[in-house]
Structure 1
Amino acid sequence: MKLVVGLGNPGPLYLGTRHNVGFEAVDRLARRIAPPSSCIPKSRFGGLVLDTEIAGEKVMLLKPLTFMNLSGQSVAEAARFYKLETETQLFVLVDDIALPCGSIRIRSEGSAGGHNGLSDIESKIGSAKYARCRIGVDAPGRIPQADYVLGKFREEQRAPVEDAINTAVDATLCWLQSGLTEAMNRFNRRSADETPRSAELNS
């Protein structure tokens, strides 16, 4: 079994905000891999859950509804229930202000980089060794970071962000089907090749 988690904040107030690109990515993934008739999430583990299968393996998609800073509660509860080895069975989709819009970066482990959602996951599962796909949302510049990530994308940011979300979905599918090394080799290289164009759009 594999667990794919998209991070964000629940409720209409946060729709379309930079902090919610993880939610957007997991929603888009659900539409790609699950039949429309089954795309009805259930409430479990303090979040919304969709159970499906890829190539005969069970896959659970999870959107924690605990708000970003407490995401680890939901993730840890699901991981404990299914006795997951988080190093190989957990994949987290999350926003990143250190990356330009239009780019993604996949890592097998690492620091939370100041991201409260990742920090809480690491605290609750007791490890930083889990795969994460960071989706670039640009640096806040002079805007306070909390205001920036809870704000909506500027018009010129939206197109590259849409591309990045689609790429993140492709990367997640690659992880599910071919493993982390293949996903990193394919999509980190692609993202690096495309970053100059994305950065130019935002200059």
Structure 2
Amino acid sequence: MGFLDLLRPRRKDDAVAENTWLVVGLGNPGAQYAGNRHNVGEMVADALAARLGAAFKTHKTPARVAEGFVRPGGPKLVIAKPNGYMNTSGGPVSALLKFYSLAPSRLIVVHDELDIPFDTVRLKHGGGHGGHNGLRDIAKALDSGDFTRVRVGIGRPPGRQDAADFVLKDFSGTERGMLPNLLSDAADAVEAVVSDGLVAAQQRFHSPA
């Protein structure tokens, strides 16, 4: 930014841009995957968009996008669901960040997490991908893991069931009964991160009940 830029009157659009977050819900496309545990990130994106009164639309990038404000004058959320499969999430996310002129630090990825019990939400910034193909591809495309993750617990598979098979199965009947509360909690977590900051959000969601 040069000296003349500093003198330029601040526009309303500038303030909006500085308070914009990209929220990406990970999943696989198609009706056959819609109820899978692996698609819980997309389910949270749907819940969050509904809460904001925003509808998903096709976009210039390979994703469907819904935009809205957490509250009047508050943070703007660009909620996105990549069009491709989980392991190709990086390209769409990179394109979305460029389109909205956002740094990876303004990215929140919502995804399923095997290492967290079902009905639990945890938050972190940075770190590895933990074997999650969506996170792996995003970090590779951005050449950075410097983004926030909302980790939605789905628990470990029972017995000797393969984890890859487990995540591509629909939630059980018991889990489906609890799922609305889990999706609501995850949507709350996203809003808490953008409104109050990661540390405050972690204190809220990581504290024992």
TM range (shorter): 0.7 to 0.9
Alignment pair present for 1:177 and 2:199: no
Give secondary structure in 1 for the equivalent of 2:39.
helix
| Residue in 2 that maps onto 1:20 | 39
Alignment pair present for 1:50 and 2:69: no
State how far apart, in whole Å, the 2-side matches of 1:170 and 1:155 are. 24
Give secondary structure in 1 for the equivalent of 2:145.
coil
State how far apart, in whole Å, the 1-side matches of 2:45 and 2:52 are. 11
Counterpart contact for 1:137–1:161, Cα < 8 Å: no
The runs of 5 or more residues in structure 2 that have no matched partner are 1-19
Calculate the TM-score normalised by the size of structure 2: 0.84
State how far apart, in whole Å, the 2-side matches of 1:25 and 1:5 are. 9
Counterpart contact for 1:45–1:74, Cα < 8 Å: yes
Counterpart contact for 2:22–2:78, Cα < 8 Å: yes
Q: Which of these residues, 117, 126, 133, is aligned with residue 116 of structure 1?
A: 133
CA offset at residue 91 of structure 1? 0.6
| Residue in 2 that maps onto 1:164 | 182
CA offset at residue 58 of structure 1? 3.1
Q: Which of these residues, 135, 156, 167, is aligned with residue 139 of structure 1?
A: 156
Counterpart contact for 1:26–1:61, Cα < 8 Å: yes
- Between stretches 42-51 and 168-177, larger displacement belongs to 42-51
* CA deviation string 1:78-99 (max 9, x = no partner): 1122221212x11111001111
Alignment pair present for 1:148 and 2:166: yes
Task: Decide which structure has greater helix share.
Answer: 1
State how far apart, in whole Å, the 2-side matches of 1:85 and 1:183 are. 21
Give secondary structure in 2 for the equivalent of 1:151.
coil
Give secondary structure in 2 for the equivalent of 1:44.
coil
CA offset at residue 40 of structure 1? 4.1
The runs of 5 or more residues in structure 1 that have no matched partner are 195-203
CA offset at residue 42 of structure 1? 2.6
Counterpart contact for 1:96–1:138, Cα < 8 Å: yes
Counterpart contact for 1:101–1:161, Cα < 8 Å: no
Alignment pair present for 1:65 and 2:93: no
Calculate the TM-score normalised by the size of structure 1: 0.87
CA offset at residue 161 of structure 1? 3.3
CA offset at residue 157 of structure 1? 2.1
* CA deviation string 1:7-50 (max 9, x = no partner): 0011100111100000000100001112xxx5242333211011
* CA deviation string 1:104-163 (max 9, x = no partner): 110011111100000000000111111001101110231112211110111122233332
RMSD, matched Cα: 1.5
Counterpart contact for 2:56–2:64, Cα < 8 Å: no
| Residue in 1 that maps onto 2:48 | 29
CA offset at residue 53 of structure 1? 2.5
